[in-house]
Amino acid sequence: MTIWEAAVLGLVQGLTEFLPVSSSGHLTLLQAMFGIEEQGLLFSVLLHFGTLVSVFICFWNDIVGMIREFFSLLRDLFRGKPNINKTPMRRQMIMVILATIPMVVAVFLNDTIESLFSSTLLVGFMLLITAVLLVVTDMHGFGRKDASTATWRDALTIGAMQLVAIIPGISRSGTVLTGGALRGFSRAFAVKFAFIMSIPVILGANIFSVVDAMQEGLDPALIAPCIVGVLVASLSGIAAIKFMNMLVKRRSFRPFVLYCTLIGLVSILVSLIF
């Protein structure tokens, strides 16, 4: 793998991880259509680490606040005075935990999921489904719920929808935004929740890969490409998060609907022809 290929993969990973267009689907299409060699397991783990850094940088205050509330809740439990509604930040922390629970199912589907990444035809159809989800989001609209008023049912519902996004081509952030809209989240809270929810998802996905990745090792010739890939993924991830935070002030996800529809149709046609 060359430095330029690593940079391209890092750019695609960083941008599409947080935009509602499916990062896994784009990486599959990129490798298949442009002949970029499949990245090693360790490289894949490092790219996801890069996007994780993006979330930590952009939502540092929320992350620190939730960590504090986690230990504060443990202290309250020890004292026999648990109060999950003590602060909005505590409620947000608990909602992230609850929303992550449905993803446990993905552990038992790991082999099946990996086999799906070789099908550009499947990715094409799933991108069309992502477009439909975004249309539903626009048509339904958002509500007024935030961390202080959202419920545990909201968190579990959105977590269940996120589980669907393990299929390449289905956008994780897109399904979470749709779930947030259907459950009455405000636009700002839906977007922030989608990003913060990526932390346990990315960590969980990589925990099962890191041991195998370390055993696989890293070719010394790939050290430079890996560094470049991580840096590009981090920077492009920050750009994508900031872009989505600006976009949340608008009323339509139409540009992403059109984009997913176009890329989906092209992928399907190319898969059928070649």
What pTM was computed for the model?
0.83
Least confident of 80-89, 107-116, 192-201: 107-116
The more confidently predicted of residues 168 and 40 is 168
pLDDT on residue 197: 87
Lookup: tokens for 63: 């992350």
Distance CA 108, CA 103 (A): 10
- pLDDT at 39 > cutoff 70: no
Q: Do residues 83 and 76 make contact, with C-beta atoms less than 8 angstroms apart?
A: yes
φ, ψ of residue 247 in degrees (nearest 5): -65, -30
User: Comparing C-alpha atoms, which of 215, 203, 211 is closest to residue 48?
Assistant: 203
User: Comparing C-alpha atoms, which of 57, 43, 52 is closest to residue 7?
Assistant: 43
Tell me the sheet residues that pair with 185: 145
The more confidently predicted of residues 165 and 132 is 132
Token pair 């010739």 is found at 221
pLDDT band for position 84 (50/70/90)? confident
Boundaries of domain holding 222 = 3-273
Give the sign of the dihedral formed by CA 25, CA 228, CA 192, CA 205: positive
pLDDT in tens, 226-261: 889 899 999 999 999 998 888 877 778 888 999 999
Distance CA 74, CA 85 (A): 14
What is the total count of domains within the chain?
1
Q: What is the largest CA-CA distance in the chain?
A: 66
